[in-house]
Amino acid sequence: MSTPVAAAKPKKRGLKKMQDKKRIDRRLDGTALASARPAGSPAVNASDASALAAASGSSGPSSTMVEQFGIASTVEETSELPPPPPGVSVSFHHEHHNLAELMHSNEHLSEGVVALAEHIRTLNDAEVFVSLLREWKVARHAFTAEDGTAILAKLFEVGAYDILLRVLCDRPIYRLGPTPDDLVRLLSHFRDAALAVRTDAEAHIRQLDSLYKTFAVVLYHNMVPTIEHYSILITAGAYGNTPEGLRRSAITAREVASLGWKLDEPSVFALAHAYIEQSQFDEAIRTLKETPVADKSIAAILRIRAQIGLGDIAGVANAFEALAALTDLDAAASVGQPSSIFGSEFWVPLSALSEDVATLISSVEVETVHSQRLKKIIGIGREAPAAGQAPSAAAESATASPSTTEPGTNKSQ
């Protein structure tokens, strides 16, 4: 009598496979199949059922076995997955299940992780994916730098910015290796998100928090910040129209100065605009004075706004003269409208300052040299321009300077 051969020690299986095996055993007729199958042998799968059905070809013994043991129905039952959780796409749910079955194997199936990433369609997909990715990395599976690049690209594609930030903040686990362009893209997103909710101060600050955390990620991943990074931070806080946003932007601008760098134009204009909106008119003028810019027309209009805020009619006249020396004031009416410079959609155009100029002129009880200069520059007599109309300069005064204009005269009257 031969000694029974011991059944092979079953390989380690995931919880799902163990549950499938028990469910198959329960579906079998009595102990017939259980006694025919050695303990630990794999459960019947779809390919086995197909092979049995193909081998029978008729109502022979094989098809009887399929019918008796319910192999076809068992395979159908065990291959079905529960419906995906809310917000998770069907294709991603299926691929996630397949990869989860291999999580505890000793193979480095990095291509499986990348293949799963390709099925990400929704933010919920991305959330489930990074959970599995964490388990994958904790289990000491690895993937290449190219795999990390592909994963980051997919998360960007579906707009999973908050998830991306969380992943990049956990460098020891994920090690996805973002590029400088990736981080600029993430910074730009959170700037846009902060300005999209600028009317809600709390929401704006929350997005600024994410923005500054992303800036920290730049340092965390051993990258050197650039003026572009700082410009994104400054413009996001300045155009948010909140005291806290401006405070952060001012601190950031001081750090740029401490590095010996010069602010770029978008940052200068954003700070000047923000100081004016927060009624810090002297700071706006100081910012414009300390950092010369190429677009002097925009700077002049911002200076006009700041001087109006201070009620300095001489300062307004000087700023108008500086603008008139650069361009015809009628043409300058469009200056300050949205342009290629970031944040221009928040600027106040020259044409919108008519009412403020009129109010300032009418506040002068006794005619002065400076009020006469201002009237002459904007081309009016005793009356100010109508609201909504751009102040207009006479052709001969468009190029006039204080040194060549006789005080007390007004040729437009």
pLDDT digits (tens, 9 = 90+) for 168-182: 999 888 888 899 999
Q: Which amino acid is at 398?
A: A
Neighbouring residues of 292: CB distance < 8 A, sequence distance ≥ 6: none
Residues 122, 130: Cα–Cα separation, whole Å:
13
405 residue type, one letter: T
Per the document, the length of the chain is 413
38/6 Cα distance (integer angstroms) = 9
Give the H or E element holding residue 72. Answer: helix 71-79
Per-residue pLDDT of the chain (413 residues; tens, 9 = 90+): 445 444 444 443 333 443 444 343 433 333 333 333 334 444 444 444 444 344 444 443 443 323 433 433 333 333 455 566 777 776 676 666 666 655 555 454 556 778 888 889 999 999 988 988 888 777 777 778 888 899 999 999 999 999 999 999 998 888 888 999 999 999 999 999 999 999 999 999 999 999 999 999 999 999 999 999 999 999 999 999 999 999 999 999 999 999 999 999 999 999 999 999 999 999 999 999 999 898 888 999 999 999 999 999 999 999 988 888 887 766 665 555 557 899 989 998 888 888 888 888 888 878 888 888 888 877 654 344 444 455 543 333 333 333 333 333 333 33
Exposed (0-12), middle (13-18) or buried (19+): which is 230, by Cβ within 10 Å? Answer: buried
Q: What is the Cα–Cα distance from 121 to 126, expressed in whole angstroms?
A: 8
pLDDT score, position 280: 97
Going by C-beta distance under 8 Å and a sequence separation of 6 or more, which residues neighbour residue 69? 27, 28, 29, 32, 33
Q: How far apart are CA 35 and CA 69, in angstroms?
A: 13
Q: How far apart are the C-alpha atoms of 97 and 79, rounded to whole Å?
A: 11
What Cα–Cα distance (Å) separates residue 246 from each residue in 76, 242, 267, 347? 62, 6, 12, 16
**For residue 18, which of 70, 73, 106, 78 has the smallest C-alpha distance?**
78
What per-residue confidence (pLDDT) applies to 192?
97
User: Whole-angstrom Cα distance, residue 173 to residue 365?
Assistant: 71
Q: For position 39, what pLDDT does the model report? A: 43
H, E, C per residue of 210-277: HHHHHHHHHHHCCCCCCHHHHHHHHHHHHCCCCHHHHHHHHHHHHHHHHCCCCCCHHHHHHHHHHHHH
pLDDT (0 to 100) of residue 332:
63
pLDDT tens column, 256-303: 999 999 999 999 999 999 999 999 999 999 999 999 898 888 999 999
The set of residues, in sequence order, having a beta carbon less than 8 Å from that of 269 and lying 6+ positions away, is 293, 298, 299, 302, 341, 343, 344, 347
* E strand spans, 107-249: none
